[in-house]
Structures are given as structure tokens and as C-alpha cells.
Amino acid sequence: MQITLPYGKDGDLQVSLADDRVAGFLEPNTVDIADEATTLRTAVEAPINAPGLADFLADARDVLIIVNDATRPTPTPRVLDIIADDLANVSCRFIVATGVHRAPTAEEYLQIFGDHYERLKDRIHAHDARTDEMVFLGTSTNGTEMHVNKLGAQAHKIIIIGSVEPHYFAGYTGGRKSFLPGIAAFKTIEMNHKLALSQKARALSLDGNPVHEDMIDALKTVDKEIFAIMTVLDKDHRVYAATAGHIHDSFTAAIDQANEVFAARIPEKSDIVVSVVKFPQDIDLYQAQKGIDNGKLALKENGILILVAKCRHGLGEESFAELLTSADSPADALAKIDDKYVLGYHKAAKMAEIGLWAQTWGVTDLAPSLLEGMFIRPFDSLQAALDAALEAKGADAKVLFLMDGGLTVPLAASAPLP
């Protein structure tokens, strides 16, 4: 069997594998797509537990529009197409909710805003959690001190444009994440993300998830009128569903549709899982780690997980890499995290945990020495990695290909959603 896998924005990888060695190809579920503009417009015109957009904007002195950065496939340009007329006579600014990510590149600004960028570029600010001026709003029950970008604190009203898809420790992206971590201070994000060390912080799970619950609690400090627009995309990044209105209610209303797309059933776990992280989540290893965390759900104990991710901009947030490279083993890394938490260590913990019961291999553009220091065995080609994995696991071993590992959450055929 000749197999083609996506790699980077426009590239691909070719491998050859005997038919009887292929367990299957898992990707987001196929769903019926209606006219995308109609889907978006219908959501905006029928908001959930909120006034219509025109009424929301009628008395607005100014509006801050929070949008996702380039690590998310959120169709911000298509949403702006729908609401452009409503915004025409309103004083608007835009903030890119980077959390602790770096600011977008020139190319990424075009990815985020599309044809709207040239018109809007003088009104766009990229949030910087480390240097921007922050305003303290209050403290969550868990003790998270809610410091947010002054642009968010000073705006009269706020519009959020986001997307809802699985997130490996927050349960799902969307809604509350535009604020925390989106436009929050580094210290605030660090406090919240420490909760990701809990085993209850996992994909598709909200009830009892301490990260999600802390976000919801922390947002009680945000005393602003907010109009949220949430989208759910299919495997080809087309708009499958959209909701709008109240920040929490519009988010919750999109979850069932997100599950219809991204919760994919498997008959059994596999000896070898190839987890492909597609553009734009392949931006760096910090983001591509999501493909490891999802891939482990389809992997047998003592199996081999092969991460395929270009990692176009290197490692990303370096604290997780520094922690792993300073450790002698995955167990040693977890012990170091127990001693002291620094933002990014939750990522290191998720990677180290897999190292206790399985192997992680990698096909990326990163230097082999970088991967080796993080307990990932590097390979120059996917074919070489597959050949070595099949030899290691024996004649009966089969390979499952997770075709969109950053977003697809494998679930056993009979397992209920978390």
C-alpha cells in the first residue's frame, strides 16, 4: 500500500506498507456541510441568551474584538465577512489572543485576518503576556489571580471570535479560553495551567476538569458585555456549525457538534500509532505535542508512537524542553515537576508520562539532538521509522494512522464520552 501523509502547509510524505500491517486510518468524522456563510449568519442572527449583534453594538462607545492566533484554524476572515457591516460605524480594535505564544509573523497575520488585514492592520495588537500592561480584576476560588491585558479591561464591549475543538487539558478550546490564557498575564496563565497536572485535565472532559472550572470561575471577574461567535470546523477546515451570544452558553452549545467531528471511534488499540499534526498546529513542538497526547489514546502499552510534525518554528515555549533535557529519564522529569512548577511544565509532564509506558519517536524538521533530549527518538524519514517500529514490535504488529492527531481524539467503540 502506498500512503501519502500531509507534512507542513503544502508538503507530504510518502510511505509504503504491506496491507496486512495497516490497522486503519483515523481522522475527524465526515459531516454534512451546508453553505458556510449561511451557517455563520444564522448563528449571529439568533444568539443564545444575548441580544442581537446590532442591539449589542447600538450603544457601544468602543469594541475590542478578540481573535485566535495562528496556531488555531479558526475561520476569522469568514466571520468578519459576516459582521463587517455591523462593525462599519463602530470604533473597533483587535487583539490577537496569543496567551504565552509569540506574536504572529507577517505571513501569519494574513492567515489570521485574510483579506481584511490591510484594512485593519493599524488597529491590531498582538497580546504579550510578559510585557503588556495588565489590569487586576480579581481572584478565582482556586487562587488564580486574574490579570488581563489593559485593552480588554478598558474596552466598553467585547466580541470574541473563536473555535471549539478538543484540547488535551482544557477539555475544549473556545469561549473562556479567549481570556484565559488568551489575553491574560503570564502569572495568571501559569497559575491556571498548573492545574493541568491533574489526571482530570484531559480532552473532551469539562465536569471535574480543574483547568476548565478555574477558567470559568476566573471569568466571573470580567465585568463586561461580551458577544461571542464560536465555530466548529470539519476535517477540511470548513464551517460545520456555529453558535453566538453568551460567552459560556455559545461555547457549551457547540460541544456536541465538536464531538461529532473530532471524537473518533477505534475498535482496538494498536502496537504502532503514527500521529500526524497538520498545519497550522505543526507550528512548533510545543503545539505539536497535542498529537502525542491524542495519539497515546490509541496506543497499546509498550507500543511505539511516531509523531509526524514539521515544527516550522522550532520548539516554541522553551521551558518544557529545558525541563525534559535536564532530566535523566521521564520519571526524573516528573519528579522535578513535583518539586517546582513553571509554566510549560504541564506540557513536559504529559510527554514524560507517556515515556513511562511507551516509546515516542519523531519525524520533524527539528535537529535530532533536540528530540533526543526530550526522550523522542528522531528519524530522517517516516519510512525508516515505520520499518524500525515494525521490526521492533514483531510480525503481528499493525499501524494505525491518526491523520489529524492534533485534533482527533480516539475513543474505544463502546466508551462513553468523558
Taking residues 306-330, report their average pLDDT. 94
- The reply to whether 418 falls in a domain is no
Specify whether 313 is located in the same domain as 400: yes
pLDDT at residue 154 is higher than 90 = yes
CA–CA distance, 343 with 363 (Å, rounded to integer) = 26
Model pTM score? 0.94
The last residue of one of the domains, among 216, 236, 261, is: 261
Taking residues 324-338, report their average pLDDT. 95
E strands, 214-309, where? Answer: 225-233, 239-245, 263-266, 270-276, 299-308
pLDDT confidence bin for 171, thresholds 50/70/90: very high
What the block records as the C-alpha cell of 185 is 498575564
- pLDDT 10s digits, 80-90: 999 999 999 99
Specify whether 124 is located in the same domain as 211: yes
The last residue of one of the domains, among 261, 285, 312, is: 261
Q: Are 301 and 268 in contact (CB under 8 A)?
A: no
- The reply to whether 205 falls in a domain is yes
Specify whether 189 is located in the same domain as 286: no
CA–CA distance, 57 with 158 (Å, rounded to integer) = 10
- The reply to whether 417 falls in a domain is no
The last residue of one of the domains, among 261, 286, 308, is: 261
Specify whether 21 is located in the same domain as 65: no
Taking residues 51-74, report their average pLDDT. 96
- List the CATH number of the domain containing 204: 3.40.50.11440
Q: What domain count does the chain have?
A: 2
Specify whether 208 is located in the same domain as 318: no
Contacts of residue 286, Cβ cutoff 8 Å, sequence gap at least 6: 315, 316, 317, 320, 344, 347
- Structural domain span for residue 131: 36-261
Specify whether 226 is located in the same domain as 84: yes
Closest Cα partner for 303 from 340, 268, 341?
268
Specify whether 134 is located in the same domain as 212: yes
